Amino acid sequence: MGTQSDVFEQFQTILREQRIHAVYQPIISLHDGGVMGYEALSRGPEHSPFHSPLEMFQFAEQQGELYKLEQLAREKAIQGSILEHEQQLLFINISSHVLEDPGFVPGKTLEILQKFGLRPNNVVFEITERSSIEDFTLAKKILAHYRMQGYRIAIDDAGAGYSSLQAIAELQPDFIKIDRSLIENIHRNKVKAYILETFVTFAQKMNISLIAEGIEQVEELAKLTQMGVHYAQGYLLGKPALTAAKVQDTLRTIIWQHRNVQGGNMTWHIGGLKTPVGIFHTKVLISEVADYFKRNQEAVGVVIVQDDCPKGLVMRDRLFQHLAGQYAYSLYWNRTIDSVMDASPLIVDEQVAVEQVSLLATSRAINQLYDLVIITSDGKMAGTASIRTILESITNVRMESARVANPLTGLPGNLQINRELNKRIKENETFHVIYADLDYFKWFNDRFGFQKGDQLIQYTADVMQQAIAFYGTPNDFVGHVGGDDFIAISTTLAPKLLCQEMINRFESGVRMFYEDVEWEYVFDRSGNQVRSEGVTLSLSLVICSCETPISLEHISQTAAQLKKQAKAHKGSIYCFQALGSQSPIGISSSERID
């Protein structure tokens, strides 16, 4: 590598001659397989000791030149940006140490963005773990200033150390990037999966998006998609490059097949809310659009298109504000509409979930909060939806779900369960029904009290949903029949594995409800003493092959027979039978977890 003075001189030459460049690694949506954005990664000169960013930034920090290098890296990242449209994001790394540097002056990055035609809402500052934040008060003050301008914040390497968790709690980022150490072989490591489940639940409650890093295996991608992680990046999805990425069709198919749809939630797409809207070409005169609004008083906005693809949005109120000044008519009247349109409106595909669109829409700047949402189909203009329509539809569905849901678990009740079963029967495709029932629950309730009993019911509901998230498929369903009875409806290719997962999860956690109390016998519902270790789980698996007609009553009767068989065996167990085919009844015991 040469002497220390030679190395220092090489580094100074790199800074002086700006001899670094950026490469871009795609970040992929695990909802639709599209490219959400890119992380910009710096590279030094080839055949140089500083080609590796790790070596370069470590040396800069040792020499007190970190701020200069990071400022140069940000400029190069923005200058070479390969963003393909206004909705994509550019993730730019900044070390936490730089936040405390007096040279980190707000406004510098904005100047660079304006120079290269980007805006703050295209940029996410990704705070890396090169050093932990020492002054959170200062960091929050600096980041608040950037957020007001439209920038977003990501915390990198979550799960790799305490400092990143503290940064999440203090800074409340928009994105959390999950470290590769937690992602690697997650499809085989249940402890890692349980930890990530906690991140997913936390992110949902805090309206934070998760990005899983370092995806290298197809199985990792499938598992993360199934668990509800929002975005992913890694060599499997795309290596750092100088050009825009295209996700392989096979990987997009995997994402679509494993997209997470929480059991029991009513999920529907924004395409169901689209309504027609006025459409104008980018080179139409402003006067024509103004005349349209005057003739159509009910129109709140119009979409500006080129080759049937939306390019911008014009809201009625905003256009007439432009025309309200003393010389505005003469100034604007004969200009083309693209000179005043919003060139980066919210554009979503018709297959995006309504609740996801609601989150995107309500996170916009206050002056855009009530703008129309543009809906596309295969990239072409399809319609629009108003914020009022979106929020009203969510409210109505939630009210309907709450009205018929079980009040203890919030899962769909019998009305929705029957609807779902009838729907599956009409579709005439193979599906599986799993009825779950707790054994000796009455004994548990009598011994430990109703409050503990309710907690055990809620725990069982969680077990069912988590198992579905692991081994189920999109559009699987979990319902609460009542009391200690549950139902899952799945199209998984491995229904027995799904049952085993439910039993394993239940067995691994049920002991915590016993409070270290010991007993020799429990009592069944008839008051008879039974030697047992406690509450167990009986599952009835009805495999509905649909090769011959089946009915709701047939499914229910078969499940009842299987339940009786399961309860005749000791311990947690599942019994199965196929309907609509000639498969015989079979019985399988669970693997006990000690």
- Average of pLDDT values for 426-430? 88
- pLDDT surpasses 90 at 47: no
Q: Under DSSP, is residue 31 helix (H, G, I), strand (E, B) or coil?
A: coil
H/E segment holding residue 584: none
Superfamily of domain 270-392: CBS-domain (3.10.580.10)
- pLDDT surpasses 80 at 264: no
- pLDDT surpasses 70 at 583: no
**What is the number of alpha carbons within 13 Å of residue 424 lying toward its C-beta?**
24
Give the N- to C-terminal CA distance of the chain in Å, as an integer.
55
**Amino acid identity at 377:** S
pLDDT at residue 239 in the model? 95
CB atoms within 10 A of CB 272: 11
Is residue 538 within 8 A of residue 437, CB to CB? The reply is yes
Residue 339: closest CA among 323, 360, 363, 317: 323
Is residue 354 within 8 A of residue 269, CB to CB? The reply is yes
Instruction: Could you list the beta-strand ranges (E) of 335-424.
Output: 347-349, 373-377, 380-385
- Average of pLDDT values for 478-500? 93
User: Residue ranges per domain, the chain?
Assistant: 4-258, 270-392, 406-589
Q: Under DSSP, is residue 389 helix (H, G, I), strand (E, B) or coil?
A: helix
- pLDDT surpasses 60 at 400: yes
CATH fold of the domain at 406-589: Alpha-Beta Plaits (3.30.70)
**Residue 249 banded pLDDT, cuts 50, 70, 90:** confident
The residues that bridge with 485 in the sheet, in sequence order, are 437, 482
pLDDT-wise least confident of 261-270, 283-292, 523-532: 261-270
Is residue 81 within 8 A of residue 118, CB to CB? The reply is yes
Alpha carbon separation from 184 to 130, 165, 252, 416, 467 (Å, rounded):
21, 19, 20, 38, 20
Tokens of 467: 């198992």
pLDDT at residue 4 in the model? 67
Tokens of 261: 């749809």
Is residue 195 within 8 A of residue 216, CB to CB? The reply is no
- Average of pLDDT values for 559-566? 92
pLDDT at residue 582 in the model? 56
CATH fold of the domain at 4-258: TIM Barrel (3.20.20)
Q: What percent of the chain has pLDDT over 90?
A: 41
What span, in angstroms and rounded, lies between the C-alpha atoms of 464 and 417?
15
pLDDT digits (tens, 9 = 90+) for 325-371: 766 667 777 889 999 999 989 999 988 888 878 888 887 878 888 99
Higher pLDDT, 43 or 5: 43
- pLDDT surpasses 70 at 538: yes
What span, in angstroms and rounded, lies between the C-alpha atoms of 102 and 232?
34
pLDDT at residue 584 in the model? 47
CB atoms within 10 A of CB 281: 14
Is residue 131 within 8 A of residue 97, CB to CB? The reply is yes
**Amino acid identity at 572:** S
What span, in angstroms and rounded, lies between the C-alpha atoms of 505 and 464?
9
CA dihedral 337, 341, 345, 351 (to 10 degrees): -10
pLDDT at residue 309 in the model? 93
pLDDT-wise least confident of 234-248, 317-331, 404-418: 317-331
What span, in angstroms and rounded, lies between the C-alpha atoms of 310 and 125?
28
What span, in angstroms and rounded, lies between the C-alpha atoms of 313 and 305?
9
Is residue 23 within 8 A of residue 41, CB to CB? The reply is yes
Instruction: Provide DSSP, 546-572.
Output: -SS---HHHHHHHHHHHHHHHHTSSSS
Higher pLDDT, 297 or 325: 297
